[in-house]
Amino acid sequence: MYGKRLEEARKAAKMTLTQVAQIMSTTHTTISRYENEKRKIDPETLTAFCRLYNVSADYILDLPRNMPYPNNKKEP
């Protein structure tokens, strides 16, 4: 799902693959691979995309806004 969100965010920012690649010091092919989910996204790259597109990682990863955290406490 992150690939579609990356593409949507890029288009909303009115940027081309080549422009993004130049800013991120990579190739347009690499950016395309992220958008097509043929390349896994690491935390550093995710952060770079989020800053570039001014979106949250939750948006890119399609996480719910109020995701509950599991209660790992053991009952006495």
CATH number at residue 32: 1.10.260.40
Is 71 within the bounds of a domain? no
- Work out how many domains the chain is built from and give that number: 1
Domain of residue 19: give its range.
2-60
State how far the Cα of 72 lies from the Cα of 53, in Å rounded to an integer. Answer: 35
Q: What's the confidence (pLDDT) of residue 49?
A: 98
Is 70 within the bounds of a domain? no
Mean pLDDT of each 10-residue bin along the chain, 76 residues long: 96 98 98 98 97 96 72 58
In Å, what is the CA distance from 23 to each residue of 18, 43, 70, 75?
9, 17, 38, 51
Is 56 within the bounds of a domain? yes
Is 72 within the bounds of a domain? no
Is 66 within the bounds of a domain? no
Is 67 within the bounds of a domain? no
- What is the rounded end-to-end Cα distance, in angstroms, of the chain? 40
pTM (2 d.p.): 0.82
Is 55 within the bounds of a domain? yes
